[in-house]
Amino acid sequence: MSIRKVLIANRGEIALRIIRACRELGLQTVAIYSTADKNALHVRFADEAICIGAPSSADSYLNIPAVLSAAEISGADAIHPGYGFLAENDGFVELVERCGFKFIGPSVKLIRLMGDKVRARQAMIEAGVPVLPGTGILNEEVEVHRAADDIGYPVIIKAAAGGGGRGMKIVNDESGLIPAWLTTRTEANAAFGCADVYIEKYIANPRHIEIQVMADSFGNVLHLGERECSIQRRHQKLLEEAPSTVLDAAERERLGMLAARAVGNIGYDSVGTVEFLMDQQGDCYFVEMNTRIQVEHTITEMITGIDLVQEQLRVAAGERLSFTQEQVNIEGHAIECRINAEDPVTYAPSPGQITALHLPGGFGVRVDTAIYAQYTVPPFYDSLIAKLIVHAPDRTQAISRLRRALDEFVVSGINTNIDLYRRIASSADFVEGHLDTGFLTRLQ
């Protein structure tokens, strides 16, 4: 392999996940860490570790000069961004490439294309992928009024550079249109450094279906089926499963090939995810594309037996995908719960020391985490502390396994959302597969 040493520009469970994939491929790893993470497991298990700054993200994991300096000092020849932080930061990727490092992901051109939601919509239209009625960038009030009237209420105003569930406002009638437009512009500029926004038709309580795609630089493009990500809070995913209960084999292949063709049209060459909303009639519409490994990539790995991170590394090293579309076999059912350190009522982060820990195990159970007993969850980063993944021959058995694993999961000293997942796994709607993005509002 042309890559020999990978610097991981991230922390927590995803940093450990990448370290494991690299080690199995015979690659050396370099961890970076803030002073708050000096006792973190990714620091302990990487071949090398370099402190790059103070606890705040701005002073460490988002400090691009410090990240690049660490890569230079360590002799790394590639940088893996994981997800979050700098994973889809086109300016970072441009500097990585300019400094002579290999970025584990697509080119800066493709990240910019898919990061601009308006341009991404246009690329999908050109590929024949259905998109919701929508607009280009709207800069004048008169344009905003005209667009909303043409589309029809309710509408959703979105940041063109948005992502991760941020930079969106739902508008039900004309009275709230301009205030929402102005607020979204302000929030978008603060969050993404770009005030551009556009309008789309809003679908109330859709299902959120995403297709895992993968491509190499030799023109090989394929999909690995779908993930159901409809259980969300404030547009943030909480529980994901694969496959979805609403797609049969024919529809799965149709939607998967549609997504694969779309990314093939733009010359994509890494792992990625094409996301869709499904309305009450069962029609799917493109929402966005994520040009990185996803938090929920684990459930696709469980049902296909394919290591997505290793494939991502191989493709970045200039190798061909190690399998063909015909070799992708979906077996069984997998569910993932995102375990967060947070107050179960207010959802406020709950940092602090873990005084006792017992991770679930047994057949078909996987836990991706970087926590341990006596570990102190810092208050500076995302509240995700673990991912509980179960796999079984069918959905019924997967739900039973999930309930058992949740009952075994013990985290003392801090608050978590484990009880929320126990309630979800026991609810009739979940068991019967009646899912949409409004699921949590109806959960008793």
**Residue ranges covered by each domain of the chain:** 5-104, 133-201, 207-442
For residues 276 and 210, the answer to whether their CB atoms sit within 8 Å is yes
Return the structure tokens found at 239.
């529980």
For residues 94 and 108, the answer to whether their CB atoms sit within 8 Å is yes
Per-residue model confidence (pLDDT) at position 165: 67
Identify the band that residue 193 occupies on the pLDDT scale cut at 50, 70 and 90: confident
Per-residue model confidence (pLDDT) at position 235: 85
Distances (CA, A) of 111 to 35, 69, 209, 266, 334: 30, 23, 21, 11, 29
Per-residue model confidence (pLDDT) at position 234: 84
Of 223, 217, 212, 251, the C-alpha closest to 323 is: 223
Identify the band that residue 345 occupies on the pLDDT scale cut at 50, 70 and 90: confident
pLDDT in tens, 229-242: 999 998 899 999 99
Per-residue model confidence (pLDDT) at position 56: 97
Q: Which of 11, 185, 227, 292 is catalytic?
A: 292
Return the structure tokens found at 434.
């009646």
Per-residue model confidence (pLDDT) at position 191: 82
How high does pLDDT run on average in the chain? 95
pLDDT at position 44 over 70: yes
Identify the band that residue 161 occupies on the pLDDT scale cut at 50, 70 and 90: confident
The CATH superfamily holding the domain 133-201 is: ATP-grasp fold, A domain (3.30.1490.20)
pLDDT in tens, 282-319: 999 999 999 999 999 999 999 999 999 999 999 999 99
Cα-based torsion angle of the residue sequence 200, 201, 207, 210 in order, rounded to the nearest 10 degrees = -30
The architecture (CATH level 2) of 5-104 comes to 3-Layer(aba) Sandwich (3.40)
Known catalytic membership, residue 292: yes
For residues 421 and 360, the answer to whether their CB atoms sit within 8 Å is no
pLDDT in tens, 80-103: 999 999 999 999 999 999 999 999
Of 199, 209, 207, 206, the C-alpha closest to 154 is: 199
CATH 3.30.470.20, domain 207-442, yes or no: yes
Q: Of 167 and 78, which is predicted with more confidence?
A: 78
Per-residue model confidence (pLDDT) at position 164: 63
Of 279, 298, 375, the C-alpha closest to 337 is: 298
pLDDT at position 166 over 80: no
Distances (CA, A) of 346 to 35, 161, 341, 417: 29, 29, 12, 11
HEC readout, the chain: CCCCEEEECCCHHHHHHHHHHHHHCCCEEEEEEEHHHCCCHHHHHCCEEEEEECCCHHHCCCCHHHHHHHHHHHCCCEEECCCCCCCCCHHHHHHHHHCCCEECCCCHHHHHHHHCHHHHHHHHHHCCCCECCECCCCCCHHHHHHHHHHHCCCEEEEEEEEECCEEEEEECCHHHHHHHHHHHHHHHHHHHCCCCEEEEECCCCCEEEEEEEEECCCCCEEEEEEEEEEEEECCEEEEEEECCCCCCHHHHHHHHHHHHHHHHHCCCCCEEEEEEEECCCCCEEEEEEECCCCCCHHHHHHHHCCCHHHHHHHHHCCCCCCCCHHHCCCCCEEEEEEEECECCCCCCECCEECCEEECCCCCCEEEEECCCCCCEECCCCCCEEEEEEEEECCHHHHHHHHHHHHHHCEEECCCCCHHHHHHHHHCHHHHCCCCCCCHHHHCC
Per-residue model confidence (pLDDT) at position 59: 97
pTM across the whole model: 0.94
Per-residue model confidence (pLDDT) at position 380: 97
pLDDT in tens, 128-155: 999 999 999 999 999 999 999 999 999 9
Cα distance between residue 110 and residue 89, in whole Å:
11
Cα distance between residue 404 and residue 17, in whole Å:
24
Of 295, 291, 307, 301, the C-alpha closest to 104 is: 291
- Mean pLDDT, residues 387-410 taken together: 98
- Mean pLDDT, residues 368-376 taken together: 98
User: pLDDT over 90 for what percent of the chain?
Assistant: 94
- Which of 234-238, 374-378, 436-440 is least confident? 234-238
pLDDT at position 57 over 90: yes
